[in-house]
Amino acid sequence: MSVNESPAPTHHDIRCVAISIATFRRPQLLSQLLNVCAAQTAEVDARVRIVVVDNDPLASAREAVAFFPGVEYIHEPLPGIAAARNRGLDATTEDDDAIIFIDDDEVPAPGWLREMLAYAVEHRADIVTGPVEPIITDSVPRWIVRGGFWRRQNGLSGSTPGSVATNNTLLRLAAWRANPTRFSEALSMKGGSDTEFFRSLRAASPLKVLWCAEAVVSEHVIPERANAKWLFRRAIRIGNINARYRTRAAAFMGGIARIGVGLPFIAFDFAVHRQPMARSWNMLAHGLGMVGNVLNVDLVEYRRKTNGA
């Protein structure tokens, strides 16, 4: 082999990757994301396909995507994030070695795509996921920041995360093709379809799942989410999700225990900090969500009107 020739690719290489973006009525944020993704494709050796799945029945993202030559646009009018994610999977081709899921309200850090691909190849990982850091603006109330309500899962590179979401994750398509799991459309409006998807994949076969702390994306804290009602409802929904993976008795008793501990700690937080703190707040809300799930009262966070709004 001459010095100018590259080594023959192995099955561990990622020669083609699809970046899958499910979007719903966020054209400005989507354009920002597409700008960054398009710029980072020049930093990697792999061929990159950027695929936008528009989940708005009115196809509101079509115009925004039209400004980005080469970006593939798919319209999925069936309401629900699970339908959009499944359509993203269906849009992969035989040439694609991996798919990267990222949300339309996120912005990758410099070098994100390069770090994600290099880490997956170097460590021969089936799934690589990374941090999602909040973009805190002056419009976010200070009590939310002080209380730690937007702190997200983090870890050391090489560690194995307990759960995986679709907000910053690479999946080797060979692992999915061996067990072609689908995102559950029954969970589209309740949330947690991505948690269920990756749990099912990991249960079907042993997969190497790694955290890459260097592959960072940032998430906009949109105004509709910077308030007590949204934060409490989100925490209850997470409790609903957690209860799905326990027996009914364990979920009920675990929920009661969390409520019993969360209530006095919230009182303590108000006495000492003069505001709620995320740890106590979430413990109470998770407990309520777990008990609610046992009683078949799940919170429907992503409900849409019949016209798709």
**How confident is the model over 44-53, as pLDDT tens digits?**
999 999 999 9
Q: Which pLDDT score, from 0 to 100, does residue 1 have?
A: 34
Rounded to 10 deg, the angle between the 228-243 and 248-272 helix axes is 150
pLDDT 10s digits, 246-302: 999 999 999 999 999 999 999 999 999 999 999 999 999 999 999 999 998 877 766
| pLDDT over threshold 70, residue 70 | yes
Q: Name the segment(s) of the chain with CATH classification 3.90.550.10.
A: 16-222
Reduce the DSSP state of residue 211 to 3 states and report it.
Answer: strand
Report how far residue 308's alpha carbon sits from residue 204's, in angstroms, rounded to the nearest whole number: 35
**Mean pLDDT of all residues belonging to the chain:** 90
The pTM assigned to this predicted structure is 0.89
Q: Please, which residues have CB within 8 angstroms of residue 263's CB and are 6 or more apart in sequence?
A: 284
16-222, what's its fold? Answer: Spore Coat Polysaccharide Biosynthesis Protein SpsA; Chain A (3.90.550)
What pLDDT, in 10s, does the model give residues 130-186?
999 999 888 899 999 999 888 777 889 999 998 899 999 999 999 999 999 999 998
